[in-house]
Amino acid sequence: MSIDLAAEKLIAAEREGEKIAVEIKSFLEKSSAISEFHTALGQFINYRGALRRREPERILYLAVPMTIYNTFFQLDFPKEMVQENQVKMIIYDVKREVISEWKN
């Protein structure tokens, strides 16, 4: 299994001495937000499992736009699934092109 299984972008980096991988999602597809969420969550779980086998020291984050995080990800179901699946997140500001928040 290849770690790049159709992610919009998956990058490896370091943050404060930790090895991380970031799966970047834009949520810009024409399908529904819930459909994109299902895809993103499924990919995240698969990537995390693959990373555990190949690079167990690397921590995976899911990066999403701040506008999507502040709306869709505040709904009960997405919020519960993120918590249940222990999804670490990066919230990014599309307009300013900066990371606005890290969620562990």
All domains in the chain, ordered by first residue: 9-103 (3.40.1350.10)
Entry pTM: 0.83
Backbone angles phi, psi at 18, to 5 degrees: -95, 140
- pLDDT value for 104: 86
Nearest partner of 82 among 90, 91, 73, 95, judged by Cα: 73
* Two structure tokens written together for 65: 């736009």
- Which range among 17-21, 55-59, 83-87, 93-97 shows the weakest confidence by mean pLDDT? 17-21
Q: How far apart are CA 42 and CA 44, in angstroms?
A: 5
